[in-house]
A and B are shown apart, each in its own frame.
Chain A
């Protein structure tokens, strides 16, 4: 089992540029989550999907952020245009079917917006 795979591991970009973060959940998991981690705000849930359908995006900061899950094995989180305050570690996590099942996190993408 390869676990949750995120790419890239590190991303450095300039303000105003588009950033796309990618995630491959564990095969068979039907729920996928995007979290953002900063020193100031800790781990924040941005959005989550069940069976590829967005269920709750209330944590998405603003319209500059968008997330898609075109199929069960792939999801993207896009920021356009990026701003320095978006600098953070972004985690993708997946979970199998069931209530309160264990959440498996990827290794994260360290994003720096200059």
Chain B
């Protein structure tokens, strides 16, 4: 089955700096890569996703890049703010042929310091 690795496990940045979280996946058939943000005491919430026919996607301060050849994708947060502090999860899915199940990375605890 699919295996998703995520780094780093913890990340501390100063407010206003950029944060980058990286993930790799094992199954070349994966074609959907969402990112979720989980705040304390809450369930994960989708913040951005990318499909295999796109190399980069941006939504305001958040961007995701995908390198299918290398089987890795990254989340970039620019101009970080204290409210960006949370746990971030990457995930990969093979789609209909693979049961359309999401496999999650182990999470990155992001702390934005004032």
**A and B co-occur in one complex:** yes
| Interface residue ranges, A against B (CB under 8 Å) | 4, 42-43, 45, 48, 55-56, 91, 93, 99-100, 102-103, 105-108
Smallest CB-CB A-B distances: 6 pairs:
A105-B43, A100-B32, A43-B104, A42-B106, A102-B46, A105-B44
Interface size on B, residues (CB 8 A): 25
| Interface residue ranges, B against A (CB under 8 Å) | 31-32, 34, 36, 41-46, 49, 51, 89, 93, 95-96, 99-107
**Chain A residues whose C-beta falls within 8 Å of the C-beta of B101 in the assembled complex:** 45, 48, 56
- B100 contacts A100, CB within 8 Å? yes
- A99 contacts B100, CB within 8 Å? yes
Bound: A4/B93 CA distance, A: 22
- A55 contacts B95, CB within 8 Å? no
Within the complex, the shortest CB–CB distance from A111 to chain B, in Å, comes to 15
Within the complex, the shortest CB–CB distance from B88 to chain A, in Å, comes to 12
**Chain B residues whose C-beta falls within 8 Å of the C-beta of A103 in the assembled complex:** 34, 46, 102
- A106 contacts B89, CB within 8 Å? no
**Chain B residues whose C-beta falls within 8 Å of the C-beta of A45 in the assembled complex:** 101-103
